[in-house]
Structure 1
Amino acid sequence: MYRHLLVPIDNTDLSTVTTGQAVEFARSLGARITFFHAQAGDASSLQGKAESRARELLTKAESAARAQGIPCSAVTAVSDAPYSAIVSTARDKACDLIFMASHGRRSAIDVMPGAQTLQVLAGTEIPVLVTTSAGSPAAAQAIGILQDEHRSLAAVLHAWLFMLASAQTQGSAADAAWMKAMLHYIKAFPLTLHHPKEQKYLFDKLRERTSALNAELDELERQHERDERLIADLASLVDQYAAGSAAVGDVEAAVSAYAKFTWEHMGREEGVILPAAQRYLTEEDWREIDSAFAENKDPHFDADTDVEFLRLYARIVDLAASSKQ
Structure 2
Amino acid sequence: MYTKILLPTDGSELANATIYAGIEFAKQINAKVVAVFVASNYQYPIYIDIIPPNTPTEEEYQAAMRNFGQTYLEPAKEAAKQAGIAFESIVQFHDSPAKEIVHTAKLYGCDLIFMGSHGRSGVGNLLLGSTTTKVLSLCCIPVLVHRTKVH
Q: TM-score, normalised by structure 2?
A: 0.79
Where does residue 70 of structure 1 map in the other structure?
85
Where does residue 275 of structure 1 map in the other structure?
none
How far, CA to CA, are the matches of 1:21 and 1:124 in structure 2? 21
1:117-266, aligned counterparts within 5 Å?
117-134=132-149, 136-137=150-151
Tell me the secondary structure at the aligned position of residue 68 of structure 2.
helix
- Cα distance, 1:105 vs structure 2: 5.7
Q: Which structure dedicates a bigger proportion of its chain to helix?
A: 1
- Cα distance, 1:125 vs structure 2: 0.8
Match of 2:97 among 75, 82, 106: 82
How far, CA to CA, are the matches of 2:42 and 2:116 in structure 1? 25
Sort the Cα spacing of 1:83 and 1:107 in 2 relative to 1 into closer, same or farther, 3 A: closer
Residues matched between the structures, number: 133
1:211-264 superposed Cα distances (whole Å, 9 cap, x missing partner): xxxxxxxxxxxxxxxxxxxxxxxxxxxxxxxxxxxxxxxxxxxxxxxxxxxxxx
Any gaps of 5 or more consecutive residues in structure 1? 138-325
1:269-288, aligned counterparts within 5 Å?
none
Residue 77 of structure 1 aligns with an amino acid whose one-letter code is Q
Where does residue 17 of structure 2 map in the other structure?
17
Residue 35 of structure 2 aligns with an amino acid whose one-letter code is F
Residue 21 of structure 1 aligns with an amino acid whose one-letter code is A
Tell me the secondary structure at the aligned position of residue 5 of structure 2.
strand
- Cα distance, 1:15 vs structure 2: 1.1
Where does residue 106 of structure 1 map in the other structure?
120
Q: Which structure dedicates a bigger proportion of its chain to strand?
A: 2
Structure (1 or 2) with the larger CA radius of gyration = 1
Is the contact between residue 34 and residue 90 of structure 2 (CA under 8 Å) also seen in structure 1? yes
Where does residue 51 of structure 2 map in the other structure?
none
1:22-101, aligned counterparts within 5 Å?
22-42=22-42, 44-45=55-56, 47=61, 48-101=63-116
Task: Give the fraction of aligned pairs with identical amino acids, expressed as a percent.
Answer: 31
- Cα distance, 1:50 vs structure 2: 2.9
- Cα distance, 1:117 vs structure 2: 1.0
Residue 27 of structure 1 aligns with an amino acid whose one-letter code is K
Q: Report runs of 4+ in structure 1 exceeding 3 Å deviation.
A: 43-46
Residue 30 of structure 2 aligns with an amino acid whose one-letter code is G
Sort the Cα spacing of 1:90 and 1:38 in 2 relative to 1 into closer, same or farther, 3 A: same
How far, CA to CA, are the matches of 1:120 and 1:3 in structure 2? 20
1:78-107 superposed Cα distances (whole Å, 9 cap, x missing partner): 1111111001110111100000012x5623
How far, CA to CA, are the matches of 1:80 and 1:60 in structure 2? 24
1:96-147 superposed Cα distances (whole Å, 9 cap, x missing partner): 0000012x56239xx847111111111111000011124x43xxxxxxxxxx
